[in-house]
Amino acid sequence: MVPTSTYRLQIQPAFTFDDAAAQADHLAALGVSHAYLSPVLAPAQGSTHGYDVVDHSRLNPEAGGRPAFDRLSRRLRENGLGAVADVVPNHVAVPTPASDNAQLWSVLREGPGSPFASWFDVDWSVPDRAILMAVLGRRIGQVLAAGELSLDRSGDEPVLRYYDHVFPVRPGTEDLPLEQLVNRQWYRLAHWRVADEELNYRRFFDVDTLAAVRVEDPEVFDATHRLLLELVHDGSLQGLRIDHPDGLADPRGYLDRLAAATRTGSDEQDASAWVVVEKILEGDELLPEEWACAGTTGYDALQRVGGVFLDPAGAEPLSTAYAAATGTATPFPALVEEAKREVVENGLYAEVHRLVELLAGICHDDVNLRDHTRRGLHEAVVELLVAVEQYRAYVVPGERAPQDAVDVLDHAAATARTRLPAERHDTLAVVVDLALGRVGQEDARAAEFVVRFQQTCGPVMAKGIEDTAFYRWFRLSSLNEVGGDPTRFGVSPEEFHAYAARLARDWPTTMTTLSTHDTKRSEDVRARLSVLSEFAEEWATALTSWRDLAAGHRDADLDARTELLVWQTVFGTWGSDGPIAADRLLAYLQKATREAKDHTTWTSPDEAYEAAVEKFATGVLADEAVRTAVGEFVALTGEAARVAVLGQKFVQLLMPGVPDVYQGSEVVDLSLVDPDNRRPVDYADRRRRLSALDGGSAPADLDDEKLLAVSRALRVRREHPAVFARGDYSPVPTSSGNALAFARGAVDAPRVVAVATRLPVSLQRNGGWGEHTLTLPEGRWRNVLAGDTVVDGGSVRIADLLTDLPVALLVRHG
């Protein structure tokens, strides 16, 4: 069953399956069809996100385990709801203690002889044939000399202990002297800084504590998916969200296997579960049409919807203001290249080294390729990885590379050639041919290179752009979003209509979203910031004034870009009761500055710089003059922010696709990146508000207005599932570019029309709606957001539709 909409719930120890069950009636009242659960399998102890699975055979015990999950399933069914769950096929946790992951423990104990050795992508060819466990606080010799490592025989089996870390002992080595014992294990204990250079197991991005698993192995797939498939077949789950498919060896093959495993019967025509994939599409990249899924998790929709409420005219003045405030005009693409190069040469050095070793072996054994040196291969791989502009090119070993993949790597190679000396160009060509599977087809190492190169492209993109460059460039931080391009400023109504029509044609049941657990800022923070595109001159003036007012809080060490991030964050998160709490702001700024890696990092924190940031941020929040000035600017932009908050959510809920509502965001939610967006949600307040609205009360504030728009849009989707499931979409003509209007349902007889206001400042400057009209399809239309008033089709004054709200929801009447 395809959902009409989903509601994301973050399952964790502080919000259990029973807590989720308690909200089932609220979700039903909103109009949601399915609860969308974060990973439900057993994660590392205390995990608040669930992506660090340690046991695929159990449901999260800290969330109540199977009994509580079954209670949740019953409660959802009683309220007419289904459920969708997050699936993490790419990696498992390397927990502390390691014994919490039984498969990993077995491999650490028995090495390649373990029955679970095929689970992990370990390079057993390293000289000491040992899995690198880089957990020590200092070098191994210093740890041994200090007596920090000990053999413990008190339990069922002897173990090595290092503070909270526990490791198994290889059978037959327990009686050796400690130094020899340590040296004879199937794992190598090492200083944590060794990991980036010598790690020999594939991991999730650069996270050592998340080890990749080989779900391309049918036995591994079956073992890691058995419980989830059981839940699908017993009706507890109707859909699956697939985390990071780009990390898999063969995403297409995985999805084919999953589709077959979730079919309701044995015939290929039988329905499979609704499956969406967390696929980041860059620019105009399209999801591979042969993937057996309903579509993506919606980052592509997020960019287009947000772009509609951005004024392209603000790009140049905001650029000028950014340069004036920071003293730099470095273009964003240059920052991206710099950041990706840092990631490739440092954080992902081990992954690059493994690629180069494969290439060196292939070239050494082929007389035609032997003169390509290891150094040349390394330089070519680095430049090619830096130049690739997508998360991966979809090449399957043994198959002819699709033209899209060829185009991606040819384009990257053209860029790489400009950064390499001429004598390396032939080597680069060899690397590209191997990455596309054009040569070496009889060599297993060549097939491995095809896969590993693609698996490395994603981490370079994610860590280089999203987790570095996005924290270094703040012309308008709302554009620094997962899968986004901060240089792409605004989306016209015509461009949006073309995108929505393509979704309706090709991926009608894809997911759409505005907020996720991974977004850098919630949808409403981004909406607030987007209005700066219409207040660019006022913003520049305000910035100058605020900086003068805050001069006493600014240390000389404070970077101007960090300061600008502070101002945008304070403005974007300013709520009805004032500025963001200091503890939330400081936690965010610590994460942002460490991710930027300009002055401080996670691995080498600069206490002096972080103290300067803290001093400035707390000073700004406590300074009454500054608070007054910022509050005045918030008031100035308040109506424009209201239009953006309501408009973008409204469009997302009614456009083609299955809309997701992130927990709590049915009202205004001014959250920042995780873990800020996992804070407890006040459901009692949301229930009270919805009950009042359903009882006929007028909206009291923007929270109520958003809740009204969300609940009515979701209910209309639920009442007319066929209209939305088919994906039919057509633009509704308007005489003003400040209105975005579209119809859902058959083109000759649509059932629903949505109207949203965009760019209200320019609208006001041009005299408001005046006599501007839109052309409704024939028939009579009920405006469910305006007391069920009825209007006739044909030319209708927009002002008559948008009397109280900047959005209108029209449903065919009678």
DSSP of 131-157: EEEEEESS-HHHHHHTT-EEEE-SSSS
The length of the chain, given as a count of residues: 814
Largest CA distance in the chain: 91
Those residues of the chain that have pLDDT short of 50 are none
For residue 211, report the phi and psi dihedrals to the nearest 5 degrees. -90, 135
Q: Which residues lie across from 683 on neighbouring strands?
A: none
Angle 250-218-220 (CA atoms, 0-180°, nearest 5)? 95
Is the pTM higher than 0.85? The answer reads: yes
Q: Is 242 helix (H, G, I), strand (E, B) or coil?
A: strand
Q: Tell me: domain 6-90+215-297, CATH 3.20.20.80, correct?
A: yes
pLDDT value for 128: 74
Scan for tokens 């994939």, then name that residue: 277
Please give the CATH topology (third level) of the domain spanning 98-211. Answer: Maltooligosyl trehalose synthase, domain 2 (3.30.1590)
Sheet holding 91-93, edge to edge: 91-93, 207-212, 203-204
* Predicted pLDDT of residue 691: 98
CA distance 214 to 451: 12
Give the C-alpha distances (Å, rounded to integers) separating 182 from 150, 283, 404: 10, 50, 49
Q: Beta partners for 336?
A: none
Strand partners, 93: 210
The reply to whether 540-636 shares the fold of 98-211 is: no
Of the candidates 6, 106, 17, the one whose C-alpha atom is nearest the C-alpha of residue 59 is 17
Question: In terms of DSSP bridges, do strands 82-87 and 239-242 run parallel, antiparallel, or are they unpaired?
Answer: parallel
- Positive or negative, the Cα torsion across 23, 84, 680, 563? negative
Pairing of strands 739-744, 82-87: unpaired
Q: CB count, 10 Å around CB of 738?
A: 23
Question: How is residue 307 written in tokens?
Answer: 């772009």
CA 430 to chain centroid: 34
- Reported as type and span, the H/E element at residue 564 is helix 560-572
As assigned by CATH, the class of the 540-636 domain is: mainly alpha
Domain ranges of the chain: 6-90+215-297, 98-211, 336-466, 540-636, 640-812
Q: Between 560-572 and 315-326, two packed helices, what is the crossing angle to 10 degrees? A: 130
Contacts 24+ apart (CB under 8 A), 797-802: 797/769, 797/771, 797/772, 797/773, 798/734, 798/736, 798/739, 798/755, 798/769, 798/772, 798/773, 798/774, 799/768, 799/769, 799/770, 799/772, 801/755, 801/774, 802/755, 802/757, 802/769
